[in-house]
A and B are shown apart, each in its own frame.
Chain A
């Protein structure tokens, strides 16, 4: 069965998490930086994501394109993601090829060039990425709602940044952001797979021994006070389909309420996969809101989203409105169901069922080595790896009283933004 993980912090501050898994001759290597849109200021939104793009543009040792080619040649996969709280880079490779990932990640922590011409070419690529998202009604609605949900916290901004800032940001802004946040003390290196811990640790120490410690970068964002009342947003655009989205302020991942909220989400809109990188899901036809909205033909689809974040973010319910219905009718039905959650205790059977679903999703999302390594770092960002280890146990401790309390505390109209996408229609 799985070996325990080994956690080490080097003198320069780099946190290392290692987990041996010998089920396949593969190793997955993840470098996590504590930087994302949460660390961005007005005028520089989208800068963390842009820096992530620039990290693929080369260093003197590995010029642009070389890395890509080298990893693809070895049959590996690699990618990077920027999110609100973090930016992460991963490589999954045959075990005997992992040296490439180890070396390139150590190299680009320090040596990326941020060539001016590459910066300009990437500006239009990122604007194109944003334009692709703007084609989606739910992106436009979500962006408008996030701005309403937070007055000052950077969670109010989309990770990709505003179009104005994408035109405004300069090469030196990017480079400075990179130098401030890409430091060993601000990073977590997580490796899982087919290796011997002692050997792997020795190799990592060798690679990072000359990376100087740096002052910890600022993370100025602070949780905001509760909303002062319900806010409403309406976005108009092309199409024939109306969408309703409700965003409640939710607990942070390291708050005790997070686990009871996870079960509330499962009861309301169905169980969600634990991992952010796939692993298979479960349908939600027996969830309360599917039965209420879709079975009764108020909506044709409903889903929920609760995310593990450092500061309290949002719990979002999204419904695609039935062509013969109105968003008002759907909102009224959801409100009635939430009132029920706040007043009537949930049966032990319902809780037990939600926990079995969580156990199955946990098994699916632990199936491959890439996902295992993902968890080694991801959980450290907003809490500790123990959060992941104890996840099922903590869900199992949630009581009927906890669920009532959480529903009453968070699912209040005054603590939400209600958004509708109104299609302008066309012939």
Chain B
């Protein structure tokens, strides 16, 4: 039975109900009204990501983004949060490789306040020295906690191994020594050079009309210019591993070992993405974590979590299987996963498996867009990956057209079970007795 296309398809965001406007200074604004709840969600990004960070000051883009709310020309740190929190509103900034991102929500009546604070933080941050030092201590503590987190450390090392000499292989939040290297002046300079309206995207979803939204955004951000804002440099192409790499990071005193293993994956705009994504669902997502969950958790009882993920970004991606296991069971889990990967790249998935996953992909879309934040995120992705405003309307058809041979081709193109990165983190243990 082929998957059905649900009748409520037109309730998803599409060209008729998303308003998309490019302001003259380069900001793209997308908005969609929803009056079912009295709230509004605002999210977006600028092009000032960690790809601009020097190696010795890695974490600068992230540090800058988290310092934006520590004081502006008009308000102190406490005053900024007094305004937001008194209204029951929230706003936060972060940074990843390509972008500085922000997310916020408020009651719809407070959208003007939210835009005013966004504007202040983006354009007039002052980076007070005392606040920069407080923030540095907080970032250093987060890094100390990260160093103890088996899942994060395995994942961090995996990225380093799969993306050597590539921005995707570097942690956006930096390392102890690079955070120590960053000065207040570095933050101010990074902001002055890299923050600007060119390439900025702003999505607003909730109980406001498109006219109101556009007028308020134009008033807040329409006159922002930064003629010096640089274009991102072209990224190098990541090359696949030539042999399997295996490493264990010893973190003493831990009950569980976290395992991350995998390879490079397709970028989001690649034609391979959708077949790989459906294949990944079969491999390690569908139901209780697909084939991997079935073998590692259900049959062997080795792990509480065991799954696969496809992380597809603008310039590339990774294809990962992860699991948390008792240290004594690590090798057994690796063997089971490698054997599943071998099957995945040599045999086509069954038509039943594919139909299950196709139904799942199509059917889950309305649920993922039930809330304002779900819709905002979906619209942001349309813009980030240039998918087109009608993407969610075309989506069921595109999903239905994927075949088992297409999945096998994508799987075997990216995954070579003889050339995997296998990283684990946890307490060293003697191999299991049996």
Interface hits, A109-152 → B, CB 8 Å: 120-132, 134-135, 137
Residue pair B287, A65 in contact (C-beta under 8 Å) = yes
Chain A residues within 8 Å of chain B by Cβ, number: 74
Residues of A within 8 A of B21 (CB): none
A217 in the interface, Cβ–Cβ < 8 Å? no
Residues of A within 8 A of B78 (CB): 285-286, 291, 295
Give CA–CA (A270, B302) in the complex, Å. Answer: 40
Residues of A within 8 A of B149 (CB): 135
Looking at B46-54, B360-368, B407-415, the stretch in contact with chain A turns out to be B360-368
Residue pair B366, A69 in contact (C-beta under 8 Å) = no
Residue pair A135, B81 in contact (C-beta under 8 Å) = no
Give CA–CA (A323, B302) in the complex, Å. Answer: 37
Interface hits, B114-166 → A, CB 8 Å: 134, 137-138, 140-141, 144-145, 147-150
Give CA–CA (A22, B286) in the complex, Å. Answer: 29
Give CA–CA (A345, B74) in the complex, Å. Answer: 32
Residue pair B301, A239 in contact (C-beta under 8 Å) = no
Complex A-B: 9 CB contacts under 8 Å: A94-B367, A125-B304, A131-B255, A238-B148, A240-B147, A240-B148, A241-B148, A286-B86, A363-B37
Chain B residues within 8 Å of chain A by Cβ, number: 72
Given A23-B36, A131-B255, A356-B87, A121:B141 Cβ within 8 A? no
> Which listed residue (B8, B144, B304) contacts A240, Cβ 8 A?
B144
Interface hub of B87, B88, B147, B254 (most chain A Cβ within 10 A): B88
Residue pair A124, B81 in contact (C-beta under 8 Å) = no
A361 in the interface, Cβ–Cβ < 8 Å? yes
Residues of A within 8 A of B84 (CB): 282-283
Given A239-B144, A294-B134, A297-B134, A360:B356 Cβ within 8 A? no
Given A24-B366, A76-B363, A132-B304, A361:B88 Cβ within 8 A? yes
B298 in the interface, Cβ–Cβ < 8 Å? yes
A207 in the interface, Cβ–Cβ < 8 Å? no
Residue pair B301, A122 in contact (C-beta under 8 Å) = yes
- Closest Cβ neighbor of A124 among chain B residues: B301
Residue pair A26, B134 in contact (C-beta under 8 Å) = no
Give CA–CA (A296, B90) in the complex, Å. Answer: 23
Give CA–CA (A370, B299) in the complex, Å. Answer: 31
Residues of A within 8 A of B371 (CB): 367-368
A271 in the interface, Cβ–Cβ < 8 Å? yes
Additional pairs, 5, CB under 8 Å, beyond known A129-B304, A320-B145:
A69-B286, A72-B286, A282-B84, A367-B37, A368-B371
Given A238-B148, A360-B39, A94:B370 Cβ within 8 A? no
Separation in Å of the B159 CB from the closest CB of chain A?
A: 20
Residue pair A128, B370 in contact (C-beta under 8 Å) = no
Give CA–CA (A94, B7) in the complex, Å. Answer: 10
Interface hits, B57-98 → A, CB 8 Å: 77-78, 81-82, 84-90, 92
Given A73-B359, A94-B363, A283-B85, A132:B305 Cβ within 8 A? yes
Listed from nearest, the 5 A-B pairs whose CB atoms lie closest are A75-B363, A360-B88, A238-B253, A129-B304, A131-B255
A215 in the interface, Cβ–Cβ < 8 Å? no
Residues of A within 8 A of B254 (CB): 134-135, 238
Interface hits, B1-19 → A, CB 8 Å: 3, 6-8, 11
Chain A interface, >50% SS class: mixed
Residue pair B90, A281 in contact (C-beta under 8 Å) = yes
Residue pair B367, A75 in contact (C-beta under 8 Å) = yes
B249 in the interface, Cβ–Cβ < 8 Å? no
Interface hits, B345-382 → A, CB 8 Å: 356, 359-367, 370-373
Residues of A within 8 A of B372 (CB): 367
- Closest Cβ neighbor of B38 among chain A residues: A363
Interface hub of B87, B140, B301 (most chain A Cβ within 10 A): B301
Residue pair B253, A280 in contact (C-beta under 8 Å) = no
- Closest Cβ neighbor of B149 among chain A residues: A135
Residue pair B256, A135 in contact (C-beta under 8 Å) = yes
- Closest Cβ neighbor of A243 among chain B residues: B145
A400 in the interface, Cβ–Cβ < 8 Å? no
Residue pair A24, B11 in contact (C-beta under 8 Å) = yes
Separation in Å of the A352 CB from the closest CB of chain B?
A: 9
Separation in Å of the B39 CB from the closest CB of chain A?
A: 5
B268 in the interface, Cβ–Cβ < 8 Å? no
Separation in Å of the B104 CB from the closest CB of chain A?
A: 10
Give CA–CA (A132, B254) in the complex, Å. Answer: 9
> Which listed residue (B7, B147, B148) contacts A137, Cβ 8 A?
B148
Residue pair A75, B37 in contact (C-beta under 8 Å) = no
Residues of A within 8 A of B287 (CB): 65, 68-69, 72
- Closest Cβ neighbor of B254 among chain A residues: A135
Residues of A within 8 A of B89 (CB): 282, 360
> Which listed residue (B148, B303, B363) contacts A125, Cβ 8 A?
B303
Interface flags for B239-264 (1: CB within 8 Å of A; 0: not) read 00000000000011111100000000
B106 in the interface, Cβ–Cβ < 8 Å? yes
B265 in the interface, Cβ–Cβ < 8 Å? no
Separation in Å of the A394 CB from the closest CB of chain B?
A: 18
Residue pair B256, A356 in contact (C-beta under 8 Å) = no
Residue pair B301, A360 in contact (C-beta under 8 Å) = no
Residue pair B144, A241 in contact (C-beta under 8 Å) = yes
Residue pair B362, A367 in contact (C-beta under 8 Å) = no
Given A75-B366, A77-B367, A128-B304, A282:B90 Cβ within 8 A? yes
Interface flags for A25-45 (1: CB within 8 Å of B; 0: not) read 110000000000000000000
